[in-house]
Amino acid sequence: MDIDQTFIVANTLPIDLEQIKQRHIIPVFSKDNHPLISQAQLVETTREAIDTLGFSALEPQIRVSHPVMGRFLKPRV
């Protein structure tokens, strides 16, 4: 992945969407363990919105500093 030099990379690492789906878990509210939107859902929903509006987008350049802690909605195989 090429990094846009205007992006502040700090202590982040590049990751692709499939890795996020497989290795990162769903964030939850600590109060009641209610699931929130995952990073993968955010990227996919944004892409769907762009497509629906008739625009095109390049592959997302995703960077993370750490895995999201929460829970799995489906058991891993």
Bigger pLDDT: 22 or 41? 41
pLDDT computed for residue 3 by the predictor: 55
CA atoms within 13 A on the CB side of 52: 6
Return the structure tokens found at 55: 């625009």
Chain segment 46-76, per-residue pLDDT in tens: 999 999 999 998 888 888 887 666 555 555 5
Contact 70, 36 (CB under 8 A): yes
- Rounded CA-CA distance 5/8 in Å is 8
The pLDDT > 90 percentage for the chain reads 18
